[in-house]
Structure 1
Amino acid sequence: MADIQVAILGLGRLGASMGLALKRHTKNGGAHNFIITGYDAVAKNSKTAKDIGAIDQHKGRPAETVRDKNIVVIAMPYGEVEAIYSLIGKSLTRGTVVIDLSALKQNAMQSAQKHMPEGTHLVCGAAIYNAAYLFNSIDHTDKATADLFDKGVMMLMPGVRCAEQAITLANDLSAIIGATPHFFDPAEHDALVSAVEALPSLLGVTLFAMLQGNNGWDDMRRLTNPAFGMVTHFLFDRHPDDLSRLWLDNREELVRHINGFIKSLTTMRDLVQDNDRDSLSALLESKASSYEQWINQRHKQNWDEDKTRVTTPSFGDTMGGAMFGGLFRRKDDDDK
């Protein structure tokens, strides 16, 4: 069984679940033994990740965590990603593959290009979770699960200097954790994320701000239940800096979606204000049907078009062969 040294930076739900999924592979008789070192700025997250078996050890500094690692997974809160590259760049070993799971890819690629040394490789990834967790979005370490990626998708977006072998490794690693790998365009990804990640968080924060500023808030807050908590949870499990960076770094796309939402909200307000039961019922029935169709497709990952599936060699062909024989060769070996 080949040992593979992995660093995971960020041990929230995403990073810890990555560790658990890799450990599951080894436990279930996989051909590779993933030895995982973790880092998180919050000491409690590191301890929890160690306690649940997501990592073997944790370090107190990012640079120390990534040193001499074959694979580095970045799952940091979005507001910390840019700084992370400046902290780890000089400690990355020649041949290391960095898999960046942060929210927006174009900014991550710019930071990586600035700080990652020659001979290292970046593949940005966007994890589309197991549909069983579609309504469970709290981003805490103790919510990590080994099956978070099962029957999901991993969108792969290689950096401009990324070697083909590194792309294949990211593809195979995606399969190991249970996800189906696909290629995707970084700019298109960021545009779409502004709608399905940034906009929901902005609406949740806006709803809370509006109600919290209402004269009736003292009574409202006593009546809150999951319906309110699910919409506004972003203020519970995301740092304000992460939210503001997510909104502002992709603001042109986000503003476009905000404008669209305002238009739709105005239409809905008018239907309610006019007591237009027929039009409101027709709209709700139509959207309920569309929602059911989306839910079914999301669970089955059965979409109308599938243009981006990755076709690459098997895991054994790369990580057990040329990948570790060539791409992970140290610079010292080249000099001999």
Structure 2
Amino acid sequence: DYVKQEVVISDTSSSKKATLTWAKELLPAHAHFIGGNPIVHPGGVGYEHASAGLFRNRLYCLTPSPSANEEAVQLMVGILAMIGAEPFFLDAAEHDGLTAALEDLPTLLSVALLQTVSEQHSWRELRKLAGNNFEQVSSGAVGDPDSLKDSFLQNNQTLVRWLDAYMLHLRELRNLIMAGEESSEQLAQAVDKAIVTRLNWLADYQKGRFTDPELVSPEVERTGFINQMIGLGAFRKRKADTPKNKKS
């Protein structure tokens, strides 16, 4: 057999449902597969951005497969402790539902932004004026197109719900801008709320501790993983929610 008995196997991909499916199909029954996804932002791509403290005080998502026993899970938890990371247990469907908002959605926003400006007759002049803001917001449109496409389609229903929620907010902002001075206070409040939200998130991220332990996602599918992890005492309760449907 090409895999030793009781071996523990993990990965670091951002798509957990697909990875667990492949593990079930390709790995022998005696292998303990535990999906992993480290939440780190090294500030760049490549070995030159590596550091000994890359994982320190960072969440490391774990999505054990049904074949992974308690000993295998505890082994992974011990490895994370050695590198200073904090284990964060999620169901594979829940993980992918959350990351759809944080990885796939920003990538699509970058694609839409580039389509919007590059298809204008003024793009020849626009591109000369593009600066830091444009570079940051468009930075999601990088990588292999086929891989990005596959990521969008693997979690398409949840991603569409996030897109709907985002477009709802865009419509609200559009209406406030269209109304002019009479809605200036509401517009300022919306911008201020976004700025404060980002500053609070950034402060929590830099500390490695989040003041709000609850994660919110739109209609995330739940499976039997919750019951499995309660027995290990390692699962943290979270609630799933749907972005509010507001009328513009």
TM-score of the pair, normalised by structure 1: 0.59
> Letter of the aligned partner of 2:205 in structure 1?
R
More strand by share: 1
User: What is the CA deviation profile of residues 253-292 of structure 1, one whole-angstrom value per residue up to 9, with x for unaligned ones?
Assistant: 0001111111110111121222232211122222222322
Q: CA RMSD in A?
A: 2.4
Partner of 1:152: 58
Aligned CA distance change for structure 1 residues 240 and 143 (closer, same or farther; 3 Å): farther
1:95, distance to aligned residue in structure 2 (A): 3.0
State the 1:299 CA deviation: 2.5
Of residues 113-122 and 272-281 in structure 1, the stretch that sits farther from structure 2 once superposed is 272-281
1:97 to 1, 4, 8: 8
Q: What residue number does 2:221 align with?
A: none
Q: Aligned residue for 1:253? A: 158
Q: Displacement, 1:223?
A: 2.1
Report SS of the residue matched to 2:114.
helix
Which amino acid in structure 2 is aligned with residue 297 of structure 1?
D
Residue 166 of structure 1 aligns with which residue?
Answer: 72
Structure 2 unpaired stretches of 5+: 216-228, 235-248
Stretches of 4+ aligned residues off by more than 4 angstroms: 306-312
Shift in Å, 1:306: 7.4
Q: Which amino acid aligns with 1:246?
A: S
Aligned: 1:283 with 2:190 = yes
Partner Cα distance (1:188, 1:268) in 2: 29
AA paired with 2:13? S
Q: Alpha carbons of 1:228 and 1:290: their partners in 2 closer, same or farther (altered >3 Å)?
A: same
Structure 1 stretches lacking a partner, 5+ long: 1-89, 313-336
| SS at 1:146 equivalent | coil
> Quick one: which amino acid aligns to residue 114 of structure 1?
E
Aligned twin of 2:212: 304
Question: For 2:130 and 2:2, how far apart are their aligned partners in 1?
Answer: 48
Change (3 A) 1:168 1:100: same
Whichever residue aligns with residue 164 of structure 2, its letter is N
Tell me the distance in 2 between the aligned counterparts of 1:222 and 1:259.
32
SS at match of 2:35: strand
Give the Å deviation of 1:118: 2.6
CA distance in 2: counterparts of 1:218 and 1:178, whole angstroms: 48
1:263 aligned partner:
168
Please say if residues 97 and 158 of structure 2, whose CA atoms lie closer than 8 Å, have aligned partners that are also in contact: yes
Structure 1 match to 2:140: 234
Per-residue CA distance 1:9-34 (angstroms, 9 max, x = gap):
xxxxxxxxxxxxxxxxxxxxxxxxxx
AA in 2 matched with 1:302: F
| Preserved CA contact (<8 Å) 1:106 1:190 | yes
CA contact (8 A) 1:208 1:232 kept: yes
What SS does structure 2 have at the residue aligned with 1:117? coil
- 2:108 aligned residue: 202
* Aligned sequence identity (%): 27
Aligned length: 217
Q: Contact 2:106–2:140 at 8 Å: present in 1 too?
A: no
Distance 1:233 1:280 in 2: 26
TM-score by length of 2: 0.79
